[in-house]
């Protein structure tokens, strides 16, 4: 199913801001948000694994294997999901008791619907679970306005076999950056006069970095790993405590963009690096762009095929053997050239 670029028709919702927002609808804005730890405070998969699968101790050990580079995210995830032994419907009893939704998310989503801002969930989780959780906490009618970009799943009727159907053939299973790129390209086709859509990403963890790099505006939940990483590596972001903070900032950003650009051309908060990423292949560009990436941790998320390998001498040599690079500037955008 394609990513939501235009929200489904919905009953009129009163704007929560001044009526002048009506005049700011020229610039298409598309919101992407992580799910676990962002919209909901807990991780849906962890709730299931701890109560109906491998248990919290084994899960924590598997998480450490990912962090240490001993196993890939996809490999570990398949073991975790494969450990579940619970029918699909029964798995939600514990979720109803455990999950907490951001207190202002529902109001924020109504704001998006009322202001023609498509809202997409982008997650490394399983789409059937995320959809059921949204249906339960928001109601099916409101949930239907949210497009979910995630992995599918095959789940046996008796709950004895849970198998992820990965969205992309990488060690992460779902390349969030690629999904955002696809959405931006599709949105550009629907915009008039060459107007570039404004891409907003909302997240909480380092695994959100690939998609965050493709966004024009990044919101990071305050006090969590994504914010820490942004501070450490001087990545521009806006902190938030609840989705009410995000709503206020988006209103300001729309007003700013209308004043500076009139809704035409590129957004006032345009991300030139994201524009560069759209023009290159994430696999073929590894030798040329690796010097622009601050750490191996980030390289692992940006290029999983090249940098998420198990810890072996050959894997380490792959990175150390890269040729030195020289940075140039072409049309105002940074590029790199491999030295001969």
Q: Which DSSP string corresponds to 27-57?
A: S-EEEEE--BTTTBSS-HHHHHHHHHSS-HH
pLDDT, one tens digit per residue, over 174-224 is 445 555 555 555 555 445 556 788 889 999 987 777 777 778 999 999 999
pLDDT reported for residue 229? 86
- How far apart are the C-alpha atoms of 225 and 209, rounded to whole Å? 11
Q: How confident is the model at residue 124 (pLDDT cuts 50, 70, 90)?
A: confident
pLDDT reported for residue 8? 52
**pTM of the complete model beyond 0.75:** no
- How far apart are the C-alpha atoms of 22 and 5, rounded to whole Å? 19
pLDDT reported for residue 220? 96
Q: pLDDT at residue 12 above 70?
A: no
**What share of the chain in percent tops pLDDT 70?**
64
Triad 276, 282, 284: Cα angle to 5°? 105
Average pLDDT over residues 6-18: 49
Q: How confident is the model at residue 338 (pLDDT cuts 50, 70, 90)?
A: very low
Q: How confident is the model at residue 5 (pLDDT cuts 50, 70, 90)?
A: low
What's the length of the chain?
Answer: 340
For all residues of the chain together, what is the average pLDDT? Answer: 74
Q: How confident is the model at residue 293 (pLDDT cuts 50, 70, 90)?
A: very low
Question: What tokens were used for 142?
Answer: 């409101």
pLDDT, one tens digit per residue, over 253-283 is 999 999 999 888 888 998 865 553 333 323 3
Distances (CA, A) of 148 to 38, 119, 154, 258: 14, 9, 17, 29
Q: Half-sphere exposure of 181 toward its Cβ, with a 13 Å CA cutoff?
A: 17
pLDDT, one tens digit per residue, over 305-316 is 444 444 444 444
pLDDT, one tens digit per residue, over 40-69 is 999 999 999 999 999 999 999 998 887 788
Q: pLDDT at residue 244 above 60?
A: yes
List active site positions: 34, 36
Please give the residue that has the higher pLDDT: either 289 or 151: 151
Q: Determine the straight-line distance between the first and last CA of the chain, rounded to whole angstroms.
A: 44
Q: pLDDT at residue 319 above 70?
A: no
Exposed, middle or buried, 311 (CB in 10 Å: 0-12/13-18/19+)? exposed
pLDDT reported for residue 183? 53
Exposed, middle or buried, 40 (CB in 10 Å: 0-12/13-18/19+)? buried
Sheet bearing 217-221, strands edge to edge: 162-165, 146-155, 119-126, 29-33, 198-203, 217-221, 238-240
- How far apart are the C-alpha atoms of 326 and 319, rounded to whole Å? 17
Question: What tokens were used for 136?
Answer: 């339960």
Q: pLDDT at residue 35 above 60?
A: yes
């Amino acid at each position: 199913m394609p990513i939501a670029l235009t929200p489904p028709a919905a009953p009129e919702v009163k704007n929560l801001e001044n009526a002048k927002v009506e005049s700011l609808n020229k610039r298409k804005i598309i919101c992407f948000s992580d799910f676990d730890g962002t919209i909901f405070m807990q991780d849906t998969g962890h709730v299931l694994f701890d109560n109906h699968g491998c248990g919290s101790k084994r899960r924590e050990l598997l998480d450490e294997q990912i962090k240490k580079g001993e196993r890939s995210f996809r490999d570990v995830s398949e073991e975790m999901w494969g450990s579940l032994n619970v029918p699909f419907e029964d798995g939600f009893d514990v979720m109803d008791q455990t999950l907490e939704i951001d207190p202002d998310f529902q109001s924020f989503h109504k704001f998006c619907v009322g202001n023609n801002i498509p809202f997409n969930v982008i997650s490394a989780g399983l789409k059937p679970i995320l959809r059921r959780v949204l249906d339960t906490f928001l109601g099916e009618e409101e949930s239907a306005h949210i497009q979910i970009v995630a992995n599918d799943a095959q789940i046996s009727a008796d709950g004895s076999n849970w198998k992820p159907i990965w969205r992309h053939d990488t060690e992460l299973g779902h390349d969030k950056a690629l999904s955002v790129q696809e959405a931006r390209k599709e949105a550009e086709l629907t915009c008039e006069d060459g107007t570039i859509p404004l891409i907003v990403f909302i997240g909480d963890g380092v695994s959100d970095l690939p998609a965050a790099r493709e966004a024009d505006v990044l919101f990071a939940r305050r006090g969590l790993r994504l914010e820490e990483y942004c501070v450490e590596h001087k990545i521009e972001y806006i902190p938030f405590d609840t989705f009410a903070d995000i709503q206020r900032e988006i209103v300001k950003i729309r007003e700013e963009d209308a004043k500076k650009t009139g809704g035409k051309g590129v957004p006032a908060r345009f991300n030139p690096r994201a524009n560069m990423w759209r023009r290159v292949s994430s696999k073929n560009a590894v030798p040329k762009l690796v010097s622009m990436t601050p750490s191996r941790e980030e390289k692992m998320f940006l290029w999983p095929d090249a940098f998420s390998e198990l810890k072996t001498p050959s894997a380490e040599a792959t990175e150390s053997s890269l040729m030195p690079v020289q940075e140039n500037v072409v049309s105002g955008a940074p590029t790199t050239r491999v030295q001969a």
